[in-house]
Amino acid sequence: MDLSTTYCGLKLKNPIVPSASPVSQKVDGLRRLEDAGAGAVVLFSIFEEQIHHDAEALDHLLTAGTESFGEALSYFPAASNYRVGPEAYLDLVAEASRACEIPVIGSLNGVSSEGWVDYARKIQDAGAKAIELNVYYIPTDPARTGAQVETMYLDVVKAVKAAVTIPVAVKIGPFFSSIPNMARKLARAGADGLVLFNRFYQPDFDLDRLEVLSDLRLSTSQELRLPLRWIAILHGRVKCSIAATTGVHTGRDVAKLLLAGADVTMTASALLHNGLGHVGRLIEELTAWMTEKEYESVGQMKGAMSHRAVSNPDAFERANYIRILEDYKGKYSFA
């Protein structure tokens, strides 16, 4: 059985890819993921704030006290001449790239192109086979329009693509007025892949202390339906790879997303909950399902149940919403 797939131009032995999370913070963990059978791995994200913080901290240390002597500033080279930024992350990229045979993908998390371009180039030079731009942005300014937000995303992609030669994927959220249109714009801006979807962490309220709570809630397979639907709609309509993430917990979850049209499926919550060896279980379950349904390859499966391939495409559209409500009302009496 051929489980191989292609993602962002990279040939992978299978479509199971651990996504950016704490499990990929150390080389030992990356080796264990590779031994478990992962097709590639996305390193944990380096955040834009970390890059800017290190640059600002170094500039502060270099210039502290120089206001006392006017000529003192000339003693120090500009901060831009120094190699700043989280160097430990670059060391991990380099070490992981040497230690692993599977592709190692670097991850940048932020909202602007400032500071990203130079760091993206450093990640490439350290040995990463691709870069994932995890654009995590919550628009809170009522004056900022949807078009301005979209332009920000596109500018980031264009800037990074102009700086590197390795593939660049973009991880986005589902909160666009037109996901298909935005997906096409990102592909035209140079994105080699789209990762659907970024899982925004929602705050909660502590009613006793009257405080805002921020905590991590792992995903479940129930959250699979959002990326499943949009991947099925986008398959064959955008000229770039598509990765599915959020809700990938079982081999059957993987099968569903491949049938929708995903090139790879990414998982983090399942690994945090079940351990790194869960990668092997996903592969076993996917292989068993493919054997049962007489699929010989992932390529044969890919997109077989996409919007363009199924006999009832309205199942992905508004018509199905109306039918579901009518069926539900017919099953229950509220008299």
Identify whether 197 is preceded by a cis peptide bond (ω within 30 of 0). yes
Q: What is the mean pLDDT of the segment spanning 140-155? A: 93
311 in a domain, yes or no? no
Assign 213 a pLDDT band (cuts: 50, 70, 90): confident
Q: Are 227 and 247 in contact (CB under 8 A)?
A: yes
Q: Is the pLDDT of residue 315 over 50?
A: yes
Q: Is the pLDDT of residue 150 over 50?
A: yes
pTM: 0.85
242-258 tens-digit pLDDT: 999 999 999 999 999 99
| Residue 176 CA neighbour count, 13 Å, CB half | 23
Phi, psi angles (nearest 5°) of residue 205: -110, 135
> What's the total number of domains in the chain?
1
**Which residues, 6 or more positions from 14, have their beta carbon under 8 angstroms from its beta carbon?**
3, 4, 5, 37, 38, 39, 283, 286, 298
Tokens of 131: 């870069």
Assign 200 a pLDDT band (cuts: 50, 70, 90): confident
| Residue 305 CA neighbour count, 13 Å, CB half | 11
State the chain's mean pLDDT as an integer: 86
Question: Domain limits at 158?
Answer: 5-304
Q: Are 100 and 41 in contact (CB under 8 A)?
A: yes
312 in a domain, yes or no? no
18 in a domain, yes or no? yes
Neighbours of 261 (CB within 10 A): 27
Q: What pLDDT does residue 113 have?
A: 65
125-146 tens-digit pLDDT: 999 999 999 987 788 899 999 9
Q: Are 276 and 310 in contact (CB under 8 A)?
A: no
163-175 tens-digit pLDDT: 999 999 999 999 9
Q: Which of 21-25, 178-182, 198-202 has the highest mean pLDDT?
A: 178-182
| CATH number for the domain that contains residue 285 | 3.20.20.70
91 in a domain, yes or no? yes
325 in a domain, yes or no? no
152 in a domain, yes or no? yes
**Pairing status of strand 41-42 against strand 264-267:** unpaired
Kindly state the helix (H) or strand (E) to which residue 227 belongs, with its residue range: helix 225-234
285 in a domain, yes or no? yes
Q: What pLDDT does residue 45 have?
A: 87
Q: Which residues pair with 266 in a beta bridge?
A: 17, 245
332 in a domain, yes or no? no
Q: Is the pLDDT of residue 63 over 90?
A: no
